[in-house]
Amino acid sequence: MLNSDDDVVLSHDPTPGVRVLRLNRPAVLNALNLALRQRLAEAFAAADTDPAVRVVVLAGGERAFCAGADLNEYVDASPTDIIGREMDRLWGAISACRKPVIAAVRGHALGGGCELAMHADLILASDQASFGQPEVLLGLMPGGGATQRLTRAVGKFQAMRLLLTGARLTAPEALALGLVSEVHPDAEVEDRALSMAAALAKGPQLAQQFIKEAVLQSMATTLEVGLQMERKSFQLLFATKDKTTGIRARLGKVPPAFD
C-alpha cells in the first residue's frame, strides 16, 4: 500500500536544534510525485522559519534516498502540465532554506533524487549509495538543477559524461569527484549526519547563515562581487555576541557556548 499524501514526508526533532525530514514512499523507492514535492517544500519552509530549528537533516530509506521522479506522472504529461506543476517554486523552497542542510544518502539517489541531494549543503553518503542523472535514457534531461549544480560540483567534463550517458556513480566515485562530502558504512551514515547536525546546531547561527549565503553566491556571480559580499558579512559579524563569545572562549581555551 502506498502512503497517503499526508505522511509522504515524516518530520521529527531528535535533538535540540535539529529537524529530520524523511521521504516516506518506500514502496516506490521515494519517487518524487507532486504530493511529495509539495510536502517537502512546505516542510523546508516551516523549518526555515522555525527559530527552534538550526539544522535540517534530509533522509530517505535504506534502499533509496530517492530514485527520481515518479514516471507515472510524466508518461502522458504535456508541456503545459509540467509548467503547471510550478517546479521552480517547489525546488526553490528547498534551496532558499537559510539553515545548514545535510543530506544523509542511503541507496539510490538518481535523477531528481540526485538533484534533491545536491540542494543540501553537505552530502553524507552510505558506502552502498549510488548517484546519477539518467534522464537522457528516457529521452529527457534534468529539470531540477543538475545541469547547473552537478557541473559546479564536478566540472564540465565529468558532468557532461554523467549527463549525456546517464552513468551511475558509486559513493567512493562520487566522493573522488567532489559530489559528496563524506562516505560512511551504510549502518552508520544517518548517525553521522545526526551527530554532525547536533554539533552544527550548537554553533553560531548567523555566521553559519552568512557562510552559506557567501558560498552559494560564489556560484552565481563574479569573484569580485563574491569577495565584496564576504567582506561585508565578515564585518557585520563583529556586531554579534557570538563573535565575542567565540574569541573569548578561544583565548580562555574553553569550549564556546553560543546562543
For the annotated catalytic residues, the residue numbers are 69, 112, 115, 135
Side-chain half-sphere of 103: how many Cα atoms within 13 Å?
28
CA dist list (Å): 78 to 74, 75, 97, 135? 8, 9, 30, 17
Under 8 Å between Cβ of 106 and 126: yes
Place of cell 509540467: 82
What's the CA angle centered on 86, arms 82 and 90, to 5 degrees? 125
Taking alpha carbons only, the member of 80, 112, 117 closest to residue 102 is 117
Strands (E), 24-88: 55-59, 64-66
| β-strand partners of 32 | 69
CA distance 199 to 212: 16
Q: What SS3 class is residue 69?
A: strand
Q: What is the rounded end-to-end Cα distance, in angstroms, of the chain?
A: 45
